[in-house]
Amino acid sequence: MRGRTIWNTVWELLSPVLLYVVLSVILTGMLELLAPPLSEDENAMWLLALVNAFQIPVFLRMYERQRRMEAEEKGRTEAAWKRRFGAADLLFAVLGGIFLARGFNGLIGLTPLPRLFSGYEPVTAAVYGGSVISQVMASVVTASILEELLMRGLVYERLRPLFSDLRPAVLLGALVFALFHGNVVQGVYAFLIGLYFVWLYEAYRSLLPAVLAHAAANASSILLEQLGWLDGLYADLPTYFLTTALCLAAGAFCWRRARKKG
């Protein structure tokens, strides 16, 4: 670890997450003070969207600085990773995000977790309690960018050099993403989908495929909820099993395609 102590390493890994927590608390308080209507339940997603939006430039700057430092250490002057994907790669990344989101949610629904751990319900109610536009701005646009910058661009990127094998870094990166969500049900989902996002980032060495896949996964949940299709997809057990299996199979195909790029 180039002379670093374990505490230096832990601090380097966790400091972006701690900064996110501090900024979220400060920005939430300031926005509620300056615009009291944002503190109302129906505006919770607008508040989240604004808090996310204000943080994106901060973490983007940190990410860009980190990439420049890595390039200097390796003696590179240009970011070759920007040319490692095309339109077809982005399309399959998006499709993988959609199918895996539905498949993993269906898989978790087959376990006792949603009944044993109901802590996700208030979060779900808050997400779907606002207007569609506020849901899109908070969950699809700003959250996907901010979380990918934070989790893949900073936390995972700092984990990679600590291991000679990528697999521990991938697993730990997904675990941090799971803990970031704060409850068991969403945490399990975040771990599973986080493995896919990490692999997209690793395969293409760019955040763009992971951001688009993340946005597509979140958008699919909002769209199906708004259209009322979730009840239809999971109306009976055979349909539930079939839908989940097909989504997992399609998602695995997209994932396998990205693995070949890595």
Q: What is the pLDDT of residues 164-206, one digit of tens each?
A: 889 999 999 999 999 998 889 999 999 999 999 999 999 998 9
pLDDT tens per residue across span 42-98: 899 999 999 999 999 999 999 999 988 887 777 654 444 455 788 999 999 999 999
Banded model confidence at residue 232, pLDDT cuts 50, 70, 90: low
Distances (CA, A) of 161 to 10, 21, 200, 206: 13, 25, 18, 17
Q: Among the listed ranges 37-41, 150-154, 255-259, which one has the minimum average pLDDT value?
A: 255-259
- Buried-state track 87-106, b at ≥16 Cβ within 10 A, e below 16: eebbebbbbbbbbbbbbbbb
pLDDT value of residue 80: 44
Parent domain of 25: 6-261
What is the value of pTM for the model shown?
A: 0.90
- Mean of per-residue pLDDT scores for the chain: 89
For residue 161, is it within any domain? Answer: yes
How many structural domains does the chain have?
A: 1
For residue 80, is it within any domain? Answer: yes
For residue 1, is it within any domain? Answer: no
For residue 31, is it within any domain? Answer: yes
Q: Which of 122, 101, 108, 123 is nearest to 215 (CA)?
A: 101
pLDDT value of residue 260: 67
